[in-house]
């Protein structure tokens, strides 16, 4: 059992964080105003990580089974029923986030569901945050002229059915 948990943490941590870093870099390159804001203020990294986790979704759908009857949005979900959840849709809820379809690194994105919620919260979320808080500012300071090597619409995304969404390749130049 412990070997399986170790493999899950190792692969889950590498797969999700590497895809999030690539997706975050792609998002910043597509939003030069936000990239410029992070370059100008490296202390913005903490908020940038949370906003990128809110704005981007590397896991689009989760399933959960109700342990007891619960009413949600006027619908009763019976004990034992399985529901599909969309963290991506929840993170774009205008009741929670003003202008939710905009990337805004200055936003207070706390309360997003990028790392799950409750007992299903990601075990590696703290490590992922540290890696992203370190990698993104280092990348943009080390490569100040970083830009896409191809038009953004040529970047192909990985199929969502693979469990973790991301870019297939991110060709850049500097």
Is 80 domain-assigned?
Answer: no
| Mean pLDDT to the nearest integer, 64-93 | 93
Q: State the pLDDT at residue 67.
A: 94
Residue pair 138/24 in contact (Cβ under 8 Å)? The answer is no
Is 67 domain-assigned?
Answer: no
pLDDT digits (tens, 9 = 90+) for 112-143: 988 888 888 877 788 888 999 999 999 999 99
Domain containing residue 45: 2-59+99-173
Counted domains in the chain: 1
Is pLDDT at 93 greater than 80 in this prediction?
A: yes
Is 68 domain-assigned?
Answer: no
Rounded to whole angstroms, the Cα distance separating 105 from 90 reads 18
Q: State the pLDDT at residue 46.
A: 94
pTM: 0.87
Q: 105: pLDDT confidence band, cut at 50, 70 and 90?
A: very high
CATH number at residue 139: 1.10.630.10
Is 64 domain-assigned?
Answer: no
Region for residue 8 given its phi and psi (left: phi exceeds 0; alpha: psi -120 to 50; beta: otherwise): alpha
For residue 77, list its beta bridge partners.
Answer: 70
Kindly report the backbone phi and psi dihedral angles of residue 55, in degrees, each rounded to the nearest multiple of 5, phi listed first: -70, -40
Two tokens, residue 157: 């995304």
Is 139 domain-assigned?
Answer: yes
Is 15 domain-assigned?
Answer: yes
Is 110 domain-assigned?
Answer: yes
**Exposed/middle/buried for residue 34 (C-beta within 10 Å: 0-12, 13-18, 19+):** buried
Is 48 domain-assigned?
Answer: yes
Q: State the pLDDT at residue 146.
A: 96
Q: State the pLDDT at residue 162.
A: 58
Q: State the pLDDT at residue 49.
A: 95
Is pLDDT at 57 greater than 90 in this prediction?
A: no
| Mean pLDDT to the nearest integer, 147-174 | 88
Rounded to whole angstroms, the Cα distance separating 34 from 98 reads 17
């Amino acid at each position: 059992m412990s070997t399986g948990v170790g493999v899950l943490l190792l692969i889950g941590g590498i797969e999700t964080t590497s895809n999030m870093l690539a997706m975050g870099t792609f998002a910043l390159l597509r939003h030069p105003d936000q990239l410029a804001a992070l370059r100008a203020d490296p202390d913005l990294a903490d908020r940038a990580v949370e906003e990128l986790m809110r704005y981007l979704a590397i896991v689009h759908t989760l399933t959960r089974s109700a342990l007891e009857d619960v009413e949600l949005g006027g619908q009763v979900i019976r004990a034992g029923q399985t529901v599909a959840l969309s963290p991506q849709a929840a993170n774009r809820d205008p009741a929670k986030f003003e202008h939710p379809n905009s990337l805004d690194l200055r936003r207070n994105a706390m309360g997003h569901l990028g790392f799950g919620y409750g007992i299903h919260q990601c075990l590696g979320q703290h490590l992922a945050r540290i890696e992203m808080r370190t990698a993104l500012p280092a990348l943009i300071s080390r490569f100040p002229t970083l830009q896409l090597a191809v038009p953004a619409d040529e970047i192909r995304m990985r199929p969502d059915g693979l469990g973790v969404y991301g870019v297939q390749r991110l060709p850049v130049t500097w």
